[in-house]
Structure 1
């Protein structure tokens, strides 16, 4: 018993020691359907303790995570159902397409991609969605949405003038203002962004990174929640409209990872994975011989010291435990995007479904 006591004290000491991380090596992923519908095409999702929120081809919606027990007294039937709400909004008579969403303190935001681009806010207690921003332009196309806190948020999109489009809110999403090109770096010819997974924006505290793609693929950086901006070059594959970064994530202020490639050539593995250790100022190509081709989303696993990542795409799910140097293929199941709940559970969206992913 004394030996056991000493062992437990030893383990407890190192578990509480600053910087200690429980060893883990993911070997498989268990996929559990949350919602299935042939009309779903989910490239953006978020969640809270009650719902998983998503943006899809012709609507945005939310699906209750907790099962409700329903009893029909007349027919004596008992069923476990999950509430599912769809919100269809039209622009110029056609359904709007939503690929950028965010849940903030119970409020749900959904941004449509193209002309007219419309941003809706659905309050926790509200029955309908309020239009909080609209932009009409033949070149308008929004790609991603995120928030620094419950009052300040950002959305980014393709250039309509000579800079990328950035809109910002400072009042909880009730109003949004588009930044002037006078306050942003000039976009290069053919530089835009991809609306593949709603992960073109990475935020750590007040620091913000935005990934562009296309004929030029660079990282825009703001240290002060969008007040000022600078831009950094990257070595990722670029030069065509379909090449570049499709997704970016940062573990902390220094360590970040971006992935992409060319979705028209999904098996090409060269120069489609890059990593930074200095806050995005410089980037290095990694894992050129890993066999990991085009992927649309990358996310760091929480609380893993920036060493463990998961990527998804229509070619499957992959995992790295060495900051992206090598990769393990976990599944051929295709998804467009995912978000982690904790260090073992994530939610993912793709064609026809939303799923819960458990890594172990």
Structure 2
């Protein structure tokens, strides 16, 4: 099924191009439409999506995962074989040159490693406990990865591997920022971790909406406050994206009040130390994912959630809603093409921009 959704944007506004030295103002004027082509339907909920070279990988409920050729749209579906594995939702995925890693949400926490060359599937991590709940996972390369989850004792859960997932080490509470009671994370889109070179940023919600930052791949940490709404069980930050070691964006809000866009999205140009709220007048309310659009030097942003898809060409100073179709997560190949995943579906999309 192919939906051609036209929402014409004639947007003339001032965009701020920021860096550590100066701020320049420039005009931005573009007509934008979005074309959405549904690639796959299924009975599962898909919250994890990653891309490498020519393939998208997804994972979801019932132990199911798959690979989609970005050019042809060909879908190959798989399912984990063990009874225990099939009970879990896999809301985190990470794809490297040689491997794909799947991480379950809930108890038990299971990490599976899939070798691309042989299609071998191996369980490489198990963690049991009533409070165990992991939310997101990223890898720098085939060997080094990190996963982030809810608190177990007196700190948030962070596990790391340096040997391709064969062994995982949990960070000690004494090495992490002081825990705030009621603070947690959300497994909404595998997007509450962002990595760039040696940097890694994690975002929280609940009692606090903070950014945890490490400059050394998780060996040491700092925490930064944000102006994002917090204090409720389902409030806080749901997704974060960095384009370099200084420029980042984040989004979230109140899952119980999805239309509220007052304090749910922000931008930084100093590595996450300080955050400025984006426009609340025309922008999206609660969203589960946000990305810098590639090849636009950080000017263009795409945000997705159950209420639809939004685009900004002004670093979040103004927004345009492109579609009412709801999705959980988004990945983009270039400045025009990408994939979206949500409940029971994966779709390809193209942004048509007439400048």
- Alignment of 1:299 with 2:303, yes or no, is no
- Aligned match for 1:215, one of 192, 198, 207: 207
In our comparison, the structure showing a higher alpha carbon Rg is 1
Q: Distance in 1 between matches of 2:52 and 2:29?
A: 26
State the match for 1:238 in structure 2: 230
Contact kept, 8 Å, 2:56 with 2:70, in 1: the verdict is: no
- Alignment of 1:88 with 2:88, yes or no, is no
Q: Deviations over 1:241-260 (max 9, x none)?
A: 10000001111111111101
Contact kept, 8 Å, 1:257 with 1:275, in 2: the verdict is: yes
- Alignment of 1:53 with 2:54, yes or no, is no
Contact kept, 8 Å, 1:144 with 1:201, in 2: the verdict is: yes
Q: Distance in 1 between matches of 2:313 and 2:65?
A: 34
State the match for 1:321 in structure 2: 313
Aligned-pair Cα RMSD in Å:
1.9
State the match for 2:48 in structure 1: 44
**SS where residue 28 of structure 1 aligns?**
strand
Say which is worse superposed, 26-35 or 102-111, in terms of deviation.
26-35
Q: Distance in 2 between matches of 1:317 and 1:262?
A: 17
- Alignment of 1:342 with 2:350, yes or no, is no
Contact kept, 8 Å, 1:90 with 1:96, in 2: the verdict is: no
Contact kept, 8 Å, 1:51 with 1:62, in 2: the verdict is: no
Judged with a 3 Å threshold, the aligned counterparts in structure 2 of structure 1 residues 156 and 259 are, in CA distance, closer, same or farther, namely: same
Give the TM-score normalised by structure 2: 0.87
CA drift at 1:186: 2.1
Say which is worse superposed, 86-95 or 294-303, in terms of deviation.
86-95
**SS where residue 182 of structure 1 aligns?**
helix
Q: Deviations over 1:87-129 (max 9, x none)?
A: 2355658611110001100311000011110000010123441
Say which is worse superposed, 142-151 or 293-302, in terms of deviation.
142-151
CA drift at 1:347: 1.1
- Alignment of 1:202 with 2:194, yes or no, is yes
- Alignment of 1:27 with 2:32, yes or no, is yes
State the match for 1:158 in structure 2: 150
Q: Distance in 2 between matches of 1:82 and 1:293?
A: 34
Contact kept, 8 Å, 1:88 with 1:95, in 2: the verdict is: no
- Aligned match for 1:114, one of 106, 113, 120: 106
Q: Deviations over 1:273-317 (max 9, x none)?
A: 111111100112121212421111000011211111000001111
Q: Distance in 2 between matches of 1:32 and 1:330?
A: 14
State the match for 1:77 in structure 2: none
- Alignment of 1:227 with 2:194, yes or no, is no
State the match for 1:19 in structure 2: none
